[in-house]
Amino acid sequence: MSENRICAVRLEDEHSAMAILDQTRLPGEVSYLTLTTQEEIWDAIYRLKVRGAPAIGIAAAYGIYLAAKAIQAQDRAGFAAQFQKAKDYLASSRPTAVNLFWALERMQRRMEAEAAAGLPVGEIKAALREEADAICREDEEVCKAIGENALTLLRPGMGLMTHCNAGAIATARYGTALAPMHLGQERGYNFKVFADETRPLLKGSRLTAWELHEAGVDVTVCCDGMCSNVMKNGWVDAVLVGCDRVAANGDAANKIGTSTLSIVAKHYGVPFYVCAPTSTIDMACKTGEDIHIELRKPEEITEMWFEKPMAPAGVKAYNPAFDVTDAQFITAIITEKGIIRPPFAQGLAKLMEK
């Protein structure tokens, strides 16, 4: 990928602001929003202006740093109380993506460690900036490692299918599920990628197709319901998806429609790979049944993206943001630390012990 790459989230510390790529405006407009208040950052996460589990985590880290920077209290106890209030507020923006909470908890641990060491508030703020930068830098390294691990399972010229957007604009760089596609493009693998449209927010056609097309990847958009036909035709050699949370037994929550794709892939004997940073693995969550699934506004189905409403006025619409892919339909979970195969409970426990 070019060094002039588009960045999903960046800190503009000199302006006490965070800039995000507004992903609701893609592919028609590449536009950055400058966020200076906690309300703006909360709204950007909730409204999917910044999205993708790793990017949400980065936005949360920089967001809580900016909140801490603005705290006026000079005593550590007062500072900690206001920090906790800001953390709780940002945590309420999205309930499913574990990276949001992981990043906020990590920032809180750093704050508490520096406070316990007796550092003055000004130095605690500087440490929080350092920690947020580390979260962003580490995510880029993690994504590249996931891509390298995934490439060991793939061959040049393969047909690949993906769902939603787990790409560079959802992370610090490269992406998770799209990392091997970007790395493969750099190395002449000539993958042929099928990107599910991904209803209702069209993250596949608006974001994944845009991102891969910009990178020169051979990408074809297909409607979600076409996955069976595409696989039956023999055009897909592997499916790669990202995820927002992996349970201890290997169940994985991802954008609605992923579960259907996994079942179809199993039917046709197509390997189904979940690309997951270890930050998305939640060992406190025993199974997918314990993952809270966010329900969103029905207008995203009935009205959004259409010039006129495309359903009768007053009709009900069911709009869960995610579904849970059962571990039995997952061929392997690809992390930055290695590839985990069934039985997932043992493999994930061993991985996370490290």
CATH number of the domain where residue 68 is located: 1.20.120.420
By residue range, what is the domain housing residue 43? 9-143
The reply to whether 164 and 43 lie within a common domain is no
Write the pLDDT tens digit of every residue in 86-96.
Answer: 999 999 998 77
Return the pLDDT at 4. 45
Would the CA dihedral through 61, 64, 69, 75 be positive or negative?
negative
The reply to whether 129 and 189 lie within a common domain is no
Distances (CA, A) of 237 to 126, 159, 234, 240: 48, 5, 7, 10
Return the pLDDT at 1. 43
Q: Total domain count for the chain?
A: 2
CATH number of the domain where residue 344 is located: 3.40.50.10470
Nearest to 221 by CA among 263, 23, 213: 213
pLDDT at 208 over 80: yes
Peptide bond into 200 cis (omega under 30): yes
CA distance 337 to 340: 9
The proportion of the chain whose per-residue pLDDT surpasses 90, expressed as a percent, equals 93
Return the pLDDT at 2. 41
Strands of 32-35's sheet in order across: 9-12, 17-21, 32-35
The reply to whether 99 and 185 lie within a common domain is no
**DSSP category for residue 320:** B
Return the pLDDT at 68. 98
Specify whether the CB–CB gap between 205 and 24 falls below 8 A. no
**DSSP category for residue 293:** P
The reply to whether 223 and 331 lie within a common domain is yes
Out of 119, 143, 167, pick the residue that ends a domain. 143
Task: Give residue 313's pLDDT band: very low, low, confident or very high (50, 70, 90).
Answer: very high
Determine if the pTM surpasses 0.85: yes
Out of 143, 162, 197, pick the residue that ends a domain. 143
Distances (CA, A) of 238 to 6, 55, 138, 232, 332: 27, 25, 27, 13, 11
Specify whether the CB–CB gap between 286 and 245 falls below 8 A. no
**Does residue 3 sit within a domain?**
no
The reply to whether 202 and 335 lie within a common domain is yes
Write the pLDDT tens digit of every residue in 134-178.
Answer: 999 999 999 999 999 999 999 999 999 999 999 999 999 999 999
Active-site annotation, residues: 244
Write the pLDDT tens digit of every residue in 24-48.
Answer: 999 999 999 999 999 999 999 999 9
Specify whether the CB–CB gap between 335 and 351 falls below 8 A. yes
